[in-house]
Amino acid sequence: MIYRALKLIFIGPIVKLLFRPWVKGRDNVPDAGPAILASNHLSFSDSIFMPLMVKRPVVFLAKQEYFTGVGIKGWLTALFFRLTNQLPMDRSGGEASAQSLVAGADVLRRGGLLGIYPEGTRSPDARLYRGKVGVARLALETRVPVVPVAMIGTDKVQPIGQRFPTIRRVGVIFGRPLDFSAYYEGADDRAVQRIVTDRIMQELQRLSGQEYVDVYAATVKARLAAEREGESEERHGGGSGGEATAAGP
């Protein structure tokens, strides 16, 4: 009830008025029955814009950190994500991530729409990165179609690190549902999961027009963070050396 009120009465009309989102291929989203909406991930706001373009409720798997923040900000963030039909997703890998997928499978078995970002995290530079196989595992185990979704321009609205969005138009493209029934018997096979995931990413690249990078986005983010830390230490060390020189005879 709260989700519907936010979508139709409060958040939805305001967002549509300000950002004038355009949509293509909305008819590719099934009117009934389960399906996975697999989207590229450019911005925090993707989880706001995409559900507004779909008549049915969409449940998202969102990173667990959004639900575990501290203080008033953390509480408000967690409340917002729960009210907007989002479930915590543990991205640490292994058994923890597998357990997180169970909640998504439950949504699909109840006939719902599940939104998921195969890249696992937002793109650090607007390119499309290698997909994680969780999306394939869900699709094969629950035997549901996958609708590829391309978010267009949301990285310009709210880049990583920008607290408040910039007002400009965004777009959402829903591709034709992908049928992976030929792979159902290999649901537990990692190689099969990789084939299915790569097929989804190929379609996302075609719809979005993004440059594809066959590396995990999280790996790139970790490298960039390490480089920034190294540069910071270098500047700090250089500064100390300069002070010592200036203090010398």
Q: What is the pLDDT of residues 8-39, one digit of tens each?
A: 777 889 999 999 999 999 999 999 999 999 99
- Among candidate residues 220, 187, 223, 198, the one with its CA nearest the CA of residue 130: 198
Per-residue pLDDT at 89: 76
How big is the chain, counted in residues? 249
Q: Residues 125, 98: one domain? A: yes
In this structure, the dihedral spanned by the alpha carbons of residues 54, 9, 157 and 135, taken in order and rounded to 10 degrees, is: -30
Q: Residues 207, 221: one domain? A: no
Q: Residues 52, 113: one domain? A: yes
Per-residue pLDDT at 242: 42
pLDDT at 96 over 70: no
- Structurally, how many domains does the chain consist of? 2
Rounded distance, CA 245 to CA 82, Å?
A: 56
Mean pLDDT score of the chain, rounded to an integer? 88
Q: Residues 242, 148: one domain? A: no
Q: Phi then psi for 236, rounded to 5 degrees?
A: -65, -45
Q: Residues 104, 224: one domain? A: no
Q: Which of 79-83, 105-109, 181-185, 238-242 has the lowest mean pLDDT?
A: 238-242
Q: Residues 138, 227: one domain? A: no
Per-residue pLDDT at 1: 62
Residue 178's beta-bridge partner residues?
Answer: 146
Q: Residues 69, 152: one domain? A: yes
Q: For residue 170, give both structure tokens.
A: 């965004």
Q: Residues 87, 102: one domain? A: yes
Per-residue pLDDT at 95: 65
CATH number of the domain at 192, please: 3.40.1130.10
Q: Residues 244, 205: one domain? A: no
Averaged pLDDT for residues 173-197: 98
Planar angle of CA 118, 100, 119, nearest 5 degrees: 15
Q: Is 190 exposed, middle or buried (0-12, 13-18, 19+ CB in 10 A)?
A: exposed
Planar angle of CA 144, 87, 67, nearest 5 degrees: 160
Determine the structural domain holding residue 228 and report its residue range.
216-249
Per-residue pLDDT at 7: 79
Q: Phi then psi for 170, rounded to 5 degrees?
A: -130, 165
Per-residue pLDDT at 93: 64
What 8-state DSSP symbol labels residue 178? B
pLDDT at 92 over 70: no
Q: Phi then psi for 168, rounded to 5 degrees?
A: -165, 165
Share of the chain above pLDDT 70, in %: 92
Q: Residues 77, 101: one domain? A: yes
Q: Which of 75-79, 101-105, 218-222 has the lowest mean pLDDT?
A: 75-79
Averaged pLDDT for residues 46-73: 87
Contact between residue 40 and residue 50 where contact means Cβ atoms under 8 Å apart:
no
Per-residue pLDDT at 97: 65
Share of the chain above pLDDT 90, in %: 63
Rounded distance, CA 61 to CA 134, Å?
A: 11
pLDDT at 51 over 50: yes
Q: Phi then psi for 99, rounded to 5 degrees?
A: -65, -35
Other Cβ atoms closer than 10 A to 104: 24
Per-residue pLDDT at 90: 72
Measured on CA atoms in the order 116, 117, 120, 121, is the torsion positive or negative?
Answer: negative
Q: Residues 32, 155: one domain? A: yes
pLDDT at 153 over 90: yes
Q: Residues 239, 128: one domain? A: no
